[in-house]
Amino acid sequence: MTVPGYHRPATVDEAVAVLAGTDGARCLAGGATLVAMMNANLAEPKALVSLAGIAELAGIAASPGGGFRIGAMTRHRDTANEARLTGTLSVLRNAARQIANPPVRNMGTIGGSIAFADPAADYPPALVAAEAEIEIAGPAGRRRIPAEAFFVDWYATALGPGELVIAVHLPPPRPGAGLYRKFARVAGDFAIVSVALAAARREGGHSVRVAIGGCGPKPIHLAEVDAMLGESFGKPEIARKAGERLAAASDPVDDTRATAEYRRLLLPRLLADTIAEAETLLETK
């Protein structure tokens, strides 16, 4: 006998069908977020669609073309341990390994985490820096959108009614550095400010992508900042300018972790420090 309201589809199509056809149904991935909310009476779903039985959502696989596909149900621990995410893609490993703590990393999933879109979470800026794409399935079929377009607002994503995250797609790794610097009050806490930085050497300079977490409704990413850093990666005054631009584009709030003012102050400092660290890494390669 199944527990009333509990569904465990075997395929993505089944999951989409149940979600569409069941009033008040929600997806259950790792449970790290949803069950915590249920325990606090902040969510009372009438039905749950467990994604645990869907093979397509499991595992990290190499994609044709040299990139990778991370199934939505991949646990943070497995992403953190994935040796194939090298170079610029290490930004994702470095983010995953700093999420919470070991037991939570055994439970939480990349799909569940990004679907919640906590602006202080670790994957969003890392995925933007890694130039990831999010694959979504829903009643109207499947689609893929850049990570940057996926995170829309405070705890809001581009997922429409009845849609769920299927996988995260990563481009081929480039040799270089992929750093995730998180500043938090204590170990395992959500970020006050985080810097996700992917940098690779190229002809005439570097190819850089920087995204900032914890400073607004979604990760902050400015193409102009990527460009200026790409041209003059090592120069402190460029790092400073980059930090100022990003801080100006930020929209942090006061919360129990830190004030908005501190976040704006810290952002450029943390960025500069992360750039210096990346520089050292790139030089020693």
Partner 1 sequence: MTALPGAVGSAFARVDVREKVEGRAQYTADLYRPGMLHGAILGSPHAHARIKSYDIGAALAVTGVHCVITGDDFGDHRMGAFIKDEHAIAKHKVRYVGEPVAAVAAETEAAARLAARLVNVEYEELPAILTPEDALKPGAAIIHEDLESYFKVFDTGSRGNICSRTEFSQGDASAWAKCEVVVEGHYTTQPQAHVSLEPCGALAEPDAAGRITLWSANQSVFRVQANVCESLGMPMSQLRCVTPRVGAGFGNKMEAHIQPIAVKLAMASGRPVKLILTREEDFEIVRARHPFKIRMKTGAKRDGTLVAREVEVLLDGGAYADDSPGVLGNGLWFSGGPYRLEYLRTWGTLVYTNKLRFGAFRGFGNPQVTFAGEQQIDEIAARIGMDPVALRERNLVRGDDRWFGGTEVGSNALGKCLEQVKERSGWSRRAELKPSAPGRKRGLGVACTAHVSGLLATGAIIRMLEDGSIVLNTGAVDIGQGSDTVLSQICAEALKVPIDRIRLASPDTDGSPYNWGTTASRVTYTTGRAVVAAAGEVERQAKDHAAEILECAPADLELRPGGQFGIVGVPEKSVTFAAISARAHWAKGGPIVGTNSFVFDRPTFDPKRAIAIGLPFPAIGALAFGAIVVDAEVDTVTGKVEIRRAWSAVDAGRAINPQSVEGQIEGAFVQGMGLALTEEMVWDGGRLANPSLMDYKVPTALDAPFEIDPIIVESYEPDGPFGAKGVGEIGINGVPAAIANAVASAIGARLSALPLTPERVLGAMLSLPS
Partner 2 sequence: MRSVPLALSINGQVRQVQAGLADTLLTVLRDQLLLTAAKRGCNQGVCGACTVLIDGRPQRACLSLAANCRDSTITTLEGLRGDRDMARLQGAFQSSGAVQCGFCTPGILISAHWLLKQEPKPSIPAIRAGISGNLCRCTGYRKIIDAVAAAASAAAAEAGA
Contacts of 99 (CB under 8 A, 6+ apart): 76, 80, 105, 108, 113, 121, 122, 123, 188
Nearer to partner 2 among residue 27 and residue 179 (C-beta) = 27
- Interface with partner 1 (CB under 8 A), residue from 83, 237, 256, 284: 256
Q: What does 240-283 look like in DSSP terms, one character per residue?
A: HHHHHHHHHH------SS--HHHHHHHHHHHHHHHHHHHHHHHH
Question: Contact between 262 and partner 1 (CB under 8 A)?
Answer: yes
Residue 143, beta-bridge partner list: 136
Strands (E), 139-175: 141-146, 151-153, 156-157, 164-170
The binding site for partner 2 (CB under 8 A) comprises 1-6, 8, 28, 30-32, 35-36, 38-40, 44-45, 47-48, 50, 52-53, 77, 100-104, 106-107, 187-188
Minimum CB separation from partner 2 for residue 107, in Å?
5
Q: Figure out which of the listed residues 185, 227, 231, 236 binds partner 1, where binding follows CB under 8 A.
A: 185
* CA distance readout (Å), 18 to 4, 88, 113, 139, 162: 14, 38, 21, 10, 9
Pick the binder of partner 1 from 51, 266, 275, 278 (CB under 8 A): 266
| Residue 128 near residue 208, CB atoms below 8 Å | no
> In this chain, which of 7, 182, 257, 264 binds partner 1, going by CB under 8 A?
257
**Binding partner 1 by CB under 8 A: which of 265, 279, 281, 282?**
265
Q: Which does 270 bind (CB under 5 to 8 A by kind): partner 1, partner 2, none?
A: partner 1
Q: Does 270 bind partner 1 (CB under 8 A)?
A: yes
Q: How far apart are CA 74 and CA 64, in angstroms?
A: 20
Q: Which is nearer to partner 1, 189 or 251 (CB)?
A: 189
Q: Give the residue with the Cβ less far from partner 2, 33 or 157.
A: 33
Distance CA 29, CA 163 (A): 14
Binding region for partner 1 (CB under 8 A): 40-41, 101, 183, 185-190, 256-259, 261-262, 265-266, 269-270, 272-273
